[in-house]
Structure 1
Amino acid sequence: MKELKLKYGCNPNQKPSRIFINGGELPIKIINGSAGYINLLDAFNSWQLVKELKETTGLAAAASFKHVSPAGAAVAVPLNEVLKKTYFVDDAELSDIATAYVRARGADRMSSYGDFVALSETCDEQTAKFLSGEVSDGIIAPSYSKGALDILKNKRRGNYLIIQIDVNYIPKEIETKEVYGITFEQKRNDVKISEDMLTNLPTKNKILPDNAKRDLIISLITLKYTQSNSVCYVKDGQAIGIGAGQQSRIHCTRLAGNKADRWFLRQNSRVINLPFKKGIKRSDRDNAIDLYISDDYMDILSDGSWENLFIKKPTPLTMEEKKEWLKNLKDVSLGSDAFFPFGDNIERAKKSGVSYIAQTGGSIRDDNVIETCDKYNIVMAFTKMRLFHH
């Protein structure tokens, strides 16, 4: 197949729409459903991310994509008991690829609502069972077990988009795109991210453990496929906060840090044990949890709407309790797709437990950024590699 016609482009008024390839065949097979323009943008970007994560770390990888940026990305690091409860899989034995996706989906469940899934491995029945209960638009993977296909083909009233990708496909070195009738051309960003990028350590603290190296690599690979400006917090093999598409880097750092904080607050025992009524939909549960840990939670108590969700009225977490809990978030790794221009980014990152940083370097205020890292004994690497993605 050299061409695939689509219903429309980014918006319904943008017709006709298609994808095509000059020379050779398209590297995908549509197993089920019909592909949309944005679906395929998510599919191809997310596939590149998980493919590179697997090649670099050697671990099964998964991503949850929304609007051409990851809501979550992860590799198959085993879940502890708290995370199993937080991700609602405490009664399941998870395969590696299921573990990776559960982590990716669990990073930011609000943003992952209606996501596009990418898997580096065969989609097995266990992963499909988990997906069957989630609101998701489609999936891309190198292959599927029969049991997984039987489950996935029943999603979205039989219209769930299932794409199989040719793992041996190698795109051309030069890529093009058209904007306003003008064609842009550039070399593909095929830079290989590895531990070699983490050797230039200008900070006083130069101790970079292996798990921190792994997490920094995950953050940088994730940023490579995230709309810029972007910042990514990672802990224990998974992105826990991604700030994408912001004009100011400090806004990226704040946005991603706030997401990391919310990820950690969800692990508080009060949140894990919220007294939900039976039969509450996952999306309603996720919305309620997000509201419970927000500063607006008192609103839901005052208007009585809690009765639709909970068996009894939950006691809210106070600001002081949240601050105390967040003090336990430690050893987080942070990547940035370009240099930090001011030390305020480091100040904000520290509030979310960041101990390790990888950033491009090269700002005229590098000295201030290094000084701020030294203030908190943070290890920072200058990668000398910008990772803008547009």
Structure 2
Amino acid sequence: MKELELKYGCNPNQKPARVFMEKGELPFTVLNGKPGYINLLDAMNSWQLVKELKKATGLPAAASFKHVSPAGAAVAAPLSEILQKVYFVEGIELSPIATAYIRARGADRMSSYGDFVALSDECDAQTASFLAREVSDGIIAPSYSDEALEILKTKRKGTYLVLQMDNDFQPAALEHKEVFGITFEQQRNDIEISEECLKDIPTDSKEFSAEARRDLLIALITLKYTQSNSVCYAKDGQAIGIGAGQQSRVHCTRLAGNKADVWHLRQHPKVLSLPFKDDVRRPDRDNAIDVYISEEWEDLLETDDWQRVFTEKPAPLSREEKKEYLKTITGVALGSDAFFPFGDNVERAHKSGVKYIAQSGGSIRDDNVIETANKYDITMAFTHIRLFHH
């Protein structure tokens, strides 16, 4: 198939809409549902991300996309008992690709609501079963087991979008984009991100653990497909905080850092022991946890709304308790899609337990950035690669 007609473009008034190939056939097959314009933008970007993650790490990879930026990305690293509880998979033996998906979805469950999923490997029945209970718009993968496909075809009353990607497809070297009647042309960003880009280390601390190198690669590859400016915090084989599309880099670092803090706070003993009612739906549980962690909790206690989800009034998680808990966090990796112009980004990163940084370097204030990293014994690499994505 060379062309696929779409219902409309980004918005209902944008008609007609289609995707097509100038040469050859479309590299994906629609196995179920009807794709939309934004669905396909998410699919093509997320597919590239997981394919590159798999190549860089050798591990099955997954991504959760919303509005052409990842909400989460991960590889198949084993889950601790605490993360199994946080991700609602306690005591379940997971396949590698299911593990990657559970991690990707768990990075920022609020943002992943209604996501588009990408898998680097075949979607098995277990992964499809987990997907079936989440609010999601579609999935792209290189293949599906027969049982997985049958499960996915029942989702959203049979309309769930399932795309199968040609794993061997290679796009043309030049890509084009039309804006306001003007055609833009550029070399496709096919730069390969590997451990080679972590060798220039200007800080006093020079050591990257194997886990840190893996997490920095995850962060950098995730940023390659995130709307700029972008910053990604990663730990334990997954993104834990992604900031996208901010005009100021330090605002991006703060936004992503706040998300990383929430990811860590979801593992706080008080959060893990929240007395939820048995019939509370997963999205409502996620919303309640987010409110419980936030400053809005005290306002909620003044109403009776908490009774909708909890069997009893939970003990509050004070600001001081959160600060003390976050002080214990360390070993977090951070990637930036371009250089840090000032040391304030490193100051903010340190507050979220960052120990390892990869950024392009090249600021006239590199000396200040290095000095700030040295102050906190942070190991920082200059990648000399800019990863702007628009």
The TM-score, its normalising length taken from structure 1, stands at 0.99
Work out the CA distance in 1 between the residues paired with 2:131 and 2:98: 9
Q: Describe the SS at the equivalent of 1:112.
A: coil
* Partner deviation per Cα, 1:192-227 (whole Å, 9 max, x = no partner): 001110000000111111111111111100000000
Work out the CA distance in 2 between the residues paired with 1:178 and 1:57: 35
Q: What count of residue pairs does the alignment treat as equivalent?
A: 390
The AA in structure 2 aligned to 1:368 is N
Work out the CA distance in 2 between the residues paired with 1:112 and 1:375: 36
| Alignment match, 2:34 | 34
* Partner deviation per Cα, 1:359-382 (whole Å, 9 max, x = no partner): 000000000000000000000000
The TM-score, its normalising length taken from structure 2, stands at 0.99
Q: Describe the SS at the equivalent of 2:111.
A: helix
Work out the CA distance in 1 between the residues paired with 2:207 and 2:219: 18
* Partner deviation per Cα, 1:69-127 (whole Å, 9 max, x = no partner): 00000000000000000000003110000000000000000000000000000000000
| Alignment match, 1:357 | 357
* Partner deviation per Cα, 1:216-264 (whole Å, 9 max, x = no partner): 1111000000000000000011000000000000011000000000000
Q: Describe the SS at the equivalent of 1:138.
A: strand
Deviation at 1:28, TM superposition (A): 0.5
Work out the CA distance in 2 between the residues paired with 1:268 and 1:315: 13
Structure 2 residues without counterparts, runs of 5 or longer: none
Work out the CA distance in 1 between the residues paired with 2:115 and 2:328: 30
| Alignment match, 2:269 | 269
| Alignment match, 2:45 | 45
**How do 1:303-314 and structure 2 match up within 5 A?**
303-314=303-314
Work out the CA distance in 2 between the residues paired with 1:328 and 1:131: 33
The AA in structure 2 aligned to 1:371 is E
The AA in structure 1 aligned to 2:155 is K
| Alignment match, 1:92 | 92
Q: Describe the SS at the equivalent of 2:247.
A: coil
Q: Is 1:132 aligned with 2:132?
A: yes
Work out the CA distance in 2 between the residues paired with 1:116 and 1:329: 30
Displacement over 4 Å in runs of 4+: none
Identify which range, 210-219 or 348-357, moves more after superposition: 210-219
| Alignment match, 1:160 | 160
**How do 1:64-143 and structure 2 match up within 5 A?**
64-143=64-143
Structure 1 residues without counterparts, runs of 5 or longer: none
**How do 1:317-328 and structure 2 match up within 5 A?**
317-328=317-328
**How do 1:216-231 and structure 2 match up within 5 A?**
216-231=216-231
* Partner deviation per Cα, 1:109-158 (whole Å, 9 max, x = no partner): 00000000000000000001111110000000000011111111111111
| Alignment match, 1:386 | 386
